[in-house]
Amino acid sequence: MTQPEAGFRLPRTVVPRAYSIDLSTTPRRRGFSGRVAIRVELREPTDEIVLHARDLKLAEATARAGRRRHGARVRYQRERETATLHFDAALPTGEVVLEIAFSGRLDPRMHGLYLARSGPEVAVASQCEAADARAIFPCFDEPDRKATFEWTVRTDPGLTVITNGVPKGVRVDRARGVAVHRFAPTPVLPTYLVAVAVGRFEATEEKRVGGVPCRVVVPPGKLGQAAFAEEAIAAVLPWFTRYFGQRYHYGKIDQVAIPGFDAGAMENAGAIFYRQQLLLLDEATASWQGRKEIAETIAHEVAHQWFGNRVTMCWWDDLWLNEAFATWISHKAVDEWKPDWRIWDDFQAMRRSAMTLDALESTHPIYAPVATPAQATEMFDAITYYKGCCVLRQLEAWLGEEPFRAGLRAYMKRFKDRNAAGADLWRAIGAEAKRDVEAVARSWTEQPGFPLVRIEAAGERDGKTVLRVSQRRFFAAPGSHEGEDAVWSVPLQIRWSGAREPHAILVEAREAEVVLPGRATWVHGNADAIGFYRVELDDALLDAAASSAGELTPAERQSLVDDLWALVVAGRASIDRFLDLLAALAGETDYAVLQALSARAAVLLHRIADGASAGKLRAFLRTIFAPSLDALGWDAAAEEKPERAVARAEAVGALGSLCRDAAVLDEAEARAESERRDPASIDANLAPVVVGLAALRADKRRVHAIVAEYLARRERRASPEEQGRWLRALVAVENAAALRAVHELTLTETIPQEQLPLILRGLFSRPAQALATWRFLQKNWEAIVGRTGPMALSRVVESLGRLPAKHKREVERFFAKHPVPEAERALRQALEEIDLYEELRRREAPRLASWLERAD
């Protein structure tokens, strides 16, 4: 547990109550200035006050206590990101108003107050999470220092201003050429939720949803892309109101499409900021997956208005309370709105990423100590979001929906407008469910890693199948034993033949016996893949499950593939068994299962197969995916369901990218050209795949053509999805000269700042590009860092785990000279991944070659 006075924490003797911020800024200038008045309560007399300030110049700092005003000298502690106000006399206990003038410069890395830019679109915008409000105005920048905020913003006439508060009015001072925008005070908020945006925007007509004024605010010319966002918030906002049993609290909701945004979206109270591709779409050219991604993002941010904004974590060590919860309930909300969208099947890819990360020795518990701003930033990862979501989902499945919701409502009611910790949540749910939820939950939130649940057939008893179940911590690396004695309270849900409902049991010991209520011909140890654990079936049970795969749900087929692959990586299963399972699933036509198959096939091809066996592996993979495309066809049938279109795209992508099927690549290039001429001529689900495949064989001239198409779409304000399919095609190029051209583009405004990390991560995804990209990254590190936000930079560092093992020492030496505090854990994970896959390659490459030889 982080000590309150340790590290970067402020003294507890000063309690902020209300901020009045008067900010002057414009996109025309790189500097900003303002004044802040902070009403605080002093719990004891003091002649100095410490608050947060980073890269700010403070002037005219005073404190008003009663009728007396005290001047202050300012001393900065740069390494602690604080400033201390020293007064000429001790300030008395009670209410004091601090008044401070400040100035600063717009941050080049899309945090604090920064210039958001995407082509011709420019605005000033804020991003304060985790600890960047201190870079905009001096403040008490910690989540448990909640206060009200009243904004006044001075800027150029004709610009739009959005803040957390409800607008009160605009006064134009024509003599000075300034428009003064005033806003009503907010309810109490932590500083990481304050928000301001200034620029040329247009807004949809205000619509009341459950009595709440709602708008979508967009850059000029994009109002036609806001209708789906309006539809989504009209669906989810009333749902959350009913679910929590509390009305929305912040006066209005502006959903703002920011020209450049490091985070995907940010739940600022009353003023939610988004990347444009996560808010806007063109109904005529939108993909099914694109709609779902936007809907889930909107639901996630709206959920935060209750869980995170209304009830806030005490400190960043409980960040999962915000993010895991919003991830879980956003999927739940969208699933209830659009059950045919199969949003939980989509979540399996996120679950997969979290389990991959959590199987490393360098993982961390969901709840982990945080002392510095950099450590707080590190917590925004797959463990916090996706593992935490899985833990909540499996607890709800164990307890039942109604007791779980009753506990959440009790928790929200008790802690509204206050701060809470994880233990408070578990106690509230436990009281309603009448179970010791805290003990079960702590085994998942306070321990790193997760269990491997082994299930063995133990015969029959009275016509019922008996299973032996055991658990141990799962590690990806063979021979890892740290924390091996850990035991989890596992809400096990076993799907078995002939049963309508899974058999549920809480396994709390290292070993247990499970008696199913009937005779089972097959079992699956994780019904609908709800649980956050790996399953190891004995050989007979695995054979039975594989032969009965058609009776499993898509999520269960995914987890069957994922679990067996994880066992191969860990040295607990042979690669032969995994290849046999792939062969058994040849011709799969479910999109979610095809995604799992192609993800594992890519690892086989790019990280295990040697040069001699790569060709035979491509031929084998063709036997897996070609029957799928034969069944699905290139063209949609009449009244086709969208999941079939996505499955087609997955099959085409696998055959083109992995198998390098010449006929598929030729057809993809032809269809990409059709899409270039008319974006609506190609199914939106297939379009990004064919455009990406067409870039595989691109030369430098073709790269310039791809960029020209992207820029033309940006110029005509095409939807973010239409623009993005051409921009992201750049990650597919393999020709050396073409790749150099892509690298050079990352240093220019052609590739927007927010897209830069995605492009770099994509370039590390294939060996043909990874090494050259690493060389480029080292040579241009300062420029890349200058264009990349701290959260996104850690994801780039994490991608270095794709490099060959012989470059591991090179990576270590480079980051010893160029440390990135926000990416220390990501670096450890990348280095561990390099070792893990080198061991796997050495061990399994000969076996892979032998199996392919026999199968040929």
For residues 453 and 337, the answer to whether their CB atoms sit within 8 Å is no
Residue with tokens 């082994």, as numbered in its chain:
454
Residue with tokens 């199996």, as numbered in its chain:
851
Cβ atoms < 10 Å from Cβ of 782? 9
301 is catalytic: yes
| Side chain identity, residue 246 | Q
Which residue, 65, 72, 18, 79, is CA-closest to 49?
72
CA–CA distance, 41 with 18 (Å, rounded to integer): 10
| Side chain identity, residue 226 | A
Cβ atoms < 10 Å from Cβ of 45? 12
For residues 139 and 191, the answer to whether their CB atoms sit within 8 Å is yes
CA–CA distance, 263 with 789 (Å, rounded to integer): 9
Q: Strand pairing of 253-258 and 490-496?
A: unpaired
Radius of gyration of the chain (CA): 28
Query: Residue 587 pairs with which residues in a beta bridge?
Result: none
For 251, left (φ over 0), alpha (ψ -120 to 50), or beta?
left
Burial 674-688 (b: 16+ CB within 10 A, else e): ebbeebeebbbbbbb
HSE-up (13 A, CA, CB side) for residue 850: 8
HSE-up (13 A, CA, CB side) for residue 814: 18
Residue with tokens 């010991």, as numbered in its chain:
509
Q: Strand pairing of 418-420 and 311-313?
A: parallel
Torsion sign over Cα 559, 563, 565, 569: positive
Q: Strand pairing of 212-218 and 253-258?
A: parallel
H helix or E strand, kind and range, residue 722: helix 720-727
Contacts of 783 (CB under 8 A, 6+ apart): 747
Task: Single out the catalytic residue among 301, 536, 588, 721.
Answer: 301
Cis peptide upstream of residue 130 (ω within 30 degrees of 0): yes
H helix or E strand, kind and range, residue 579: helix 575-584
CA–CA distance, 831 with 817 (Å, rounded to integer): 16
Q: What is the DSSP letter of 383?
A: I
783's tokens: 């420029």
Burial 473-486 (b: 16+ CB within 10 A, else e): bbbbbeebeeeeeb
Task: Please calculate the CA angle 290-721-738 and round it to the nearest 5 degrees.
Answer: 125
Query: How many residues in the chain?
Result: 856
For residues 575 and 851, the answer to whether their CB atoms sit within 8 Å is yes
Contacts 24+ apart (CB under 8 A), 599-607: 599/349, 599/352, 600/561, 600/562, 600/565, 601/654, 601/658, 602/657, 602/658, 603/565, 604/848, 605/658, 606/765, 606/766, 606/767, 607/802, 607/837, 607/840, 607/841
Which residue, 450, 510, 447, is CA-closest to 474?
450
Reduce the DSSP state of residue 567 to 3 states and report it. helix
Which residue, 717, 671, 711, 718, is CA-closest to 694?
671
CA–CA distance, 197 with 705 (Å, rounded to integer): 34
| Side chain identity, residue 634 | W
What does the CA dihedral 258, 263, 264, 267 come to, rounded to 10 degrees? -80
Known catalytic residues are: 301
